[in-house]
Amino acid sequence: EDQVTQSPEALRLQEGESSSLNCSYTVSGLRGLFWYRQDPGKGPEFLFTLYSAGEEKEKERLKATLTKKESFLHITAPKPEDSATYLCAVLNYGGATNKLIFGTGTLLAVQP
Amino acid sequence: DTGVSQNPRHKITKRGQNVTFRCDPISEHNRLYWYRQTLGQGPEFLTYFQNEAQLEKSRLLSDRFSAERPKGSFSTLEIQRTEQGDSAMYLCASSWTDGEKLFFGSGTQLSVL
């Protein structure tokens, strides 16, 4: 069964203190790995898609990387506005299924 | 592109009542998804449509839940005989045919008393 595990559950950083969030996955055939950001009371907002091991994507202070078993979301010199829940999800090639399987997320708090 | 719109934003109901939520997707998207999210959890897949056809339903979707997408445009999700365990955020998302990049609405927060 496809599974996504994110760690840590929560992370508190000082402004400017870089860190990484982890997403480990088990999937029969990975079609894509997705990172989303979710603010309180809102729906998830798309950040990145990664398709193959070794791939990297960057957006402002965020960089996502992918290996065969996990993905990392690196946050460089974060600002308070980066505070949110970061969700990882996978999409597989299996059968007729076409649904994203989400992890439980990492709640990031960046203090000024 | 006005984004995915969901109504209402909040719904409070008593146990046993029926509720209906509406989702208006991005107009050029032919796929529409419903997810459910509880506090501290990631979104859980409920069902999806390609145009007006409902192609997949989760085992989470009991017979009290029904979703429609008439004419392949907006969609409704109805929950009959609500239970306290139905309390959650109900999220709608839409995408192009490849089903990869999903655009989510802000959700409908359901509270069953």
Three-class DSSP category at B52: coil
By C-alpha distance, the chain A residue nearest B50 is A98
Structure tokens given for B102: 């999903």
Q: What is the pLDDT of residues A72-112, one digit of tens each?
A: 999 999 999 999 999 999 987 665 557 889 999 999 999 99
**A4:B99 CB<8 A:** no
Taking contacts as CB-CB distances below 8 angstroms, the residues of chain B near A87 are 42-43
Counting every residue written for chain B, the total comes to: 113
Q: What is the 3-state secondary structure (H, E, C) of chain B?
A: CCCCEEECCEEEECCCCCEEEEEECCCCCCEEEEEEECCCCCCEEEEEEECCEEEEECCCCCCCEEEECHHHCCEEEEECCCCHHHCEEEEEEEECCCCCCCEECCCEEEEEC
Task: Round the average pLDDT of chain B to a whole number and report it.
Answer: 93
Q: What is the pLDDT of residues A37-71, one digit of tens each?
A: 999 999 999 999 999 999 999 999 999 999 999 99
Amino acid at A91: L
